[in-house]
Structure 1
């Protein structure tokens, strides 16, 4: 898998300074087990031809290490196609150019437009030739697409399904690379998962100045984030129709937190326990709910709890903020301090626990701690089809994911003493056949809360 950068004309040698690569030396690095090479075929005052390519290590790709890639917990067996993994492997080598930070004496060339030709391939994509052109032409590229001829010893097909894209146009080097780093994952067929929210931050950083005005902006977001619990929503503009509509990007995590806050505001609890509170993002929001007087953030990970404490300390002086108390603990260890609270929250926690261990943990909460309400959210497995993930979990650490019927049945079984009324909700964009991406149940202890 490779990217070739070509330019001709006056001062193109300056591009080598922006790339921060000496034309006389071969750049060769091991990146997460794979060999990344960068070299120049030509580098003169009027001609430049440079190539960066990756020779993948198939064994490394098959080891499925949790830290193999910055955007995946999963195996990627697409060894040779230009893909989101390709961009992750070459990002370090091209970091100076991507960030527009060459040596000070060459900074004047960062915003200089050169007549570039970028060639990437092989490309394996479900998008048509016209769709590929529609992605790149709005930035001023002339797009050429080619397929290699094939001569099989038996009749199968005459032309490869893999394609090579050639993009020609006047661009700054930084913008050209940023276009590629955003759009290569969009055209990639393979499922490129991620662990945290850094992927959307990359989109926003590399897309700055061009992505929001792209005519296929929403399509680009959907494609780039189609395997992530993230949404990009456009709010209607209150201004005149001739003005650009403001854009609001909403993550599914934020929608979960907003829903839980909304439900708690209706329940009016005075004391709340956030089980599996992690780095405290939801807990911090609970601290601003009117009427809450006590918040316990229960987390088994010391490092996550320390990050949460740092988050809470930054909010300590905010008006009406109730400072949470961090508690080291687990669902599997009884803690007298958690008894009799008005509300307990399990937000995206249960799917990380072995299914056979869950009944005991929930029985402890519902029948020993006896909260006024228990809020439980978890992924809806039916919605995974919308991510093209019918046979896979959304995260490598998930032990299971339930359909809506399975979740409802499980909640009913856990209420075997009939002490609670059950109320179900969906979170995120609803799809007619598959429901919402997240499902939620409130166990309301009869007679406990208004």
Structure 2
């Protein structure tokens, strides 16, 4: 994967200071096993030519880092084509230029427009050449798209599907790079990491001054953020006059889930002892720590990486008055642990859809008939609502094994309660659609008096 930056005209050599890279040195850095290499072929007062190569370790991507790079375990073109992986690996090397923070004596060049040529590839995209041009031409670039040629000894195809993109225009280095870092993942239509509010913040920051005015703004958001909860958060943090469909609330869906779960817990007579299964980075558990009357919170998570992040979040909250420190436990729903017996509340917040359907009955049998909590709270996406997101047959997250309609979820919950020890109550979370309901569905299992 390659990005070449060329510039011509007076003071072109100033760009090397904006990049914070010495033209006399070969730059090589390893980032989590992946090699980023940079070298200049020209750096004079009138001309600059610098190339960045990214050589990912495909084995590292597909095996050792599967919990970070959510991609197939088999080799494919994603490791070798420009994508969000490419941008992530390159971002560290271009941090000074992206942030516009060179040494003070070179700060004056941050807002200076140069005659740039950006060339990147290979690109494997489902977009047509015309659609690619529609993304870059409104920014003032002339765009050329070239295809590689194949020289096979047998008949296969005369032209490679991979493309190389060249952009030419007057722009500041910072804006040019930020535009690439927003639009390359749009071209690829894939992100190897979970899309959350941090991604919204990054896109709005990198898009400042140009993205709101872009005629393909909505398309960029749809491809870059994938889900309308994320798009709506952008709408609340920008001042564009070109509005997306209005919504009745500015609260993110994830926060609405946590708020609803906490409301349910506060309404329960018994909520002193709580188990948060699949607690992840501890975002819900840390809020539970401020609920009055709670005496114990067990944050159960199999990922050590997430546990470390959760502990850091817990430590920060510990400085606040009235906070009960959750206990982090490395655990799994598939292994019995007597520490979870007879608790007041158990929570499965957006957990079950990450488990293969055929394994779920064992999980629920362990919870309902062995752990026997007084209350079990389960939330999961409502597949009916995916029509509002125009997802087609796609799931909301690449790691989801299924997404159920409201009828399917109701039937499944009834089936799990086969011993009839619990009363079931169903509810919805998020903005309600007249036909498709709410984006998240909830079932509250309440143990009957024995």
Measured against the shorter chain, the TM-score band is: 0.7 to 0.9
Q: Which residue of 1 aligns with 2:192?
A: 193
* 2:231 counterpart residue number: 232
Q: Are 1:422 and 1:442, in contact at CA under 8 Å, matched by a contact in 2?
A: yes
Question: For each residue in 1:361-398, what CA deviation from the matched residue of structure 2 results, as whole angstroms up to 9, or x when unmatched?
Answer: 64564456655532112356796996688699733xx7
Q: Give the whole-Å Cα distance in 2 for the aligned partners of 1:148 and 1:432.
A: 50
Shift of 1:11: 0.5
Q: Distance in 1 between matches of 2:432 and 2:81?
A: 34
Q: Which structure 2 residues correspond to residues 57-68 of structure 1 after superposition, within 5 A?
A: 57-61=57-61, 63-66=62-65
Q: Distance in 2 between matches of 1:262 and 1:314?
A: 24
Equivalent positions of 1:126-141 (< 5 A) are: 126-141=126-141
State the number of aligned residues: 431
Displacement of 1:442 in angstroms is 1.6
Contact 2:225 2:231 survives alignment (8 Å)? no
Partner of 2:12: 12
Gaps of at least 5 residues in structure 1 are none
TM-score, normalization: structure 1?
0.77
Cα 1:312–1:42 change in 2 (3 A) is closer
2:348 to 342, 346, 369: 346
Aligned residues of 2:342 and 2:374 also touching (Cα < 8 A): no
Partner of 2:378 in structure 1? Answer: 376
| 1:233 and 1:250 in contact (8 A); partners too | no
Report 1:37-186 matches (<5 A).
Answer: 37-61=37-61, 63-66=62-65, 71-72=69-70, 74-75=72-73, 77-78=76-77, 79-148=79-148, 158-186=158-186
Structure 1 residues 388 and 11, CA gap change in structure 2 (3 angstroms): farther
Given that 2:39 and 2:51 are in contact with CA atoms closer than 8 Å, whether structure 1 keeps it comes out as yes
CA distance in 1, matches of 2:235, 2:83: 34
Aligned equivalent of 1:309, options 311, 314, 317: 314
CA RMSD of aligned residues (A): 4.3
Match of 1:334 in 2: 338
Task: Give TM-score scaled by structure 2 length.
Answer: 0.77
**Residue 273 (structure 1) aligns with:** 274
Q: Is the 8 A contact 2:395 2:403 kept in 1?
A: no
The runs of 5 or more residues in structure 2 that have no matched partner are 302-306
- What SS does the corresponding residue of 1:187 show, helix, strand or coil? helix
Q: Secondary structure at the match of 2:127?
A: coil
Q: What is the rounded CA distance, in whole Å, between the counterparts of 1:40 and 1:77 in structure 2?
A: 30
Q: CA deviation at 1:183?
A: 0.7
Q: CA deviation at 1:14?
A: 0.3
Deviations 1:398-448 (A, max 9, x none): 7x5464466444422331232323233455688999987654322134579
8 A Cα contact 1:34 1:57, kept in partner = yes
How many Å separate the matches in 1 of 2:152 and 2:356?
A: 50
The alignment status of 1:219 with 2:219, answered yes or no, reads: yes
